[in-house]
Structure 1
């Protein structure tokens, strides 16, 4: 099986791909990925918990937005798999027309999301990915670009850190847009505000491109926003992991054909 890693600024999501679907997924703090041996301990722990064995892991594919940990994955793959890891890049996904100025600057997670969207929907889809930041990516006949917003958890942390009188509140959608106390004011502004910003951006994209799009969300908070966003139609928690797996499959196919 293929070990897949979606490395974000706060969390890393690991998964196992059996050639057809994601069969396991685990989450750990990215800050805990410091050496290849420590990472192996985490992987073994997850596998044992899932009643699986490391001997079933044959390769590693990574989408990372944290360059400082990439060497850990390289050393891990060399030491424990006797392989070079595959890293997701826009340049490597040359079957997609990246209609942006600097595709090499795209986050690998966004590249993976677009790859998965193309495989599953072909075109005319927008992916909304909730993490430390919220990213929106537009796939028409080409990849057209998108937007980056501050994530709702990041917004809440920023408020608590910089406004001494504001209390810590749970990340919970309020019952009303009109806050009646300080916690519901904060929840309205950060959570409902994020949903309305997403909807407004999608509406703007459609006006600029003169077409309608399907909208799918992913990421840790993506499911919660289906209840308030008027535009998000579907939540797929494994979208990024699937995109990483599809990238690997295309890479292997290209490698085989070039021999």
Structure 2
């Protein structure tokens, strides 16, 4: 039997991550739900199939040059590259976590913001559990476009199946007063979109890890709870039985992305 390597220490989530801004928080809680905790504590489930990782899919959408790739690279690779290169089509990263003692993976899909690549990128919106809509806090016009990006991503998925986040990047470019003003507008937009708002800086790393930990924790817990709601309690949590989305479809998407994207 093949066993996956241990999860990096900086990807272990032991406590439920808090929201950056309580005004934009859709999940007002400080701990896992009692049902999820009970499932994860069950010794018989934790000791079976832990080499097969559960996985959720997150798609990152938004205008050209708002910092989608920089956001992903800061979290996944802990780097910040000033030399901007537009994403062609789609790209992706896979991050492994440990939550409540169980392994978990997050596929993070980086989609192109250029109009000419929309027809390619939109195909990869399907099967998402998380939609991350990104705007540039130093360019308020990009905030106005986020609603359309979200609608396009939601249009490729079943209703009420996705967590939605609105992320403002480049907060390091704003003064404290400008940041507060932009955040007020963003919180209002997030409320209209039924999304949770975060403000980050890929350059300094501010709030980046906290944001992705929040994404991973909410998606993981949702996967556990939905599996229990469907009556799959006999399926062992951690054995791949609550793998979100169609595995064959995700494998084909990964293969296609490797062939077509830079």
TM-score, with normalisation over the residues of structure 2?
0.28
TM-score, with normalisation over the residues of structure 1?
0.28
**Larger RCO: 1 or 2 (CA < 8 Å, sep 6+):** 2
